[in-house]
């Protein structure tokens, strides 16, 4: 179930950025981008920070290997991002 607020309840700066993405890519932004931008202080920034830590933080695997693991898993799950 998708919340209508996440679909169209963004603040003006986020609406402008989403519109710019749409114009530049000829496609609507994927849902995860809309979620990141809806209330970035509650979800978007903390979640992006976590992703950055996981992909760029200390690890025995290289950044490229971690990116490949993520891409492979997304492909298995038929995820578009």
pLDDT in tens, the chain (81 residues): 567 877 888 899 999 999 999 999 999 898 888 888 888 888 889 998 998 998 899 999 999 999 999 899 999 999 876
Q: Say whether both 48 and 20 belong to one domain.
A: no
Residues 54 and 34 in one domain: no
- Pair (48, 81) in one structural domain: yes
CB of 10 within 8 A of CB of 37? yes
The CA distances from residue 51 to 10, 22, 40, 55, 69, in Å, are 23, 24, 14, 6, 13
Pair (22, 2) in one structural domain: yes
> Residue 17 has what pLDDT?
93
- The answer to whether residues 18 and 29 touch, using CB atoms and an 8 Å cutoff, is yes
pLDDT of residue 62: 94
Asked whether residue 30 falls in the same domain as residue 61, the answer is: no
Report the pLDDT value the prediction gives residue 30, as an integer from 0 to 100.
86
Residues 29 and 7 in one domain: yes
HSE-CB of 8 using CA atoms within 13 angstroms: 1
Helices (H), 2-76: 4-8, 12-25, 31-38, 45-56, 63-76
The reported pLDDT for the residue numbered 1 is 58
pLDDT attached to residue 43: 87
* Total count of domains within the chain: 2
What residue numbers bound the domain in which 6 lies? Answer: 1-38
In terms of domains, do 34 and 48 share one?
no
Question: Same structural domain for residues 33 and 57?
Answer: no
């Amino acid at each position: 179930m998708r919340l209508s607020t996440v679909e169209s309840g963004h603040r003006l700066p986020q609406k402008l950025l989403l519109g710019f993405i749409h114009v530049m890519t000829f496609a609507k932004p994927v849902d995860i981008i809309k979620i990141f931008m809806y209330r970035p202080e509650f979800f978007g920034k903390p979640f992006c920070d976590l992703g950055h830590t996981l992909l760029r933080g200390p690890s025995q695997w290289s950044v490229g290997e971690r990116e490949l693991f993520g891409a492979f898993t997304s492909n298995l799950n038929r995820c578009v991002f």
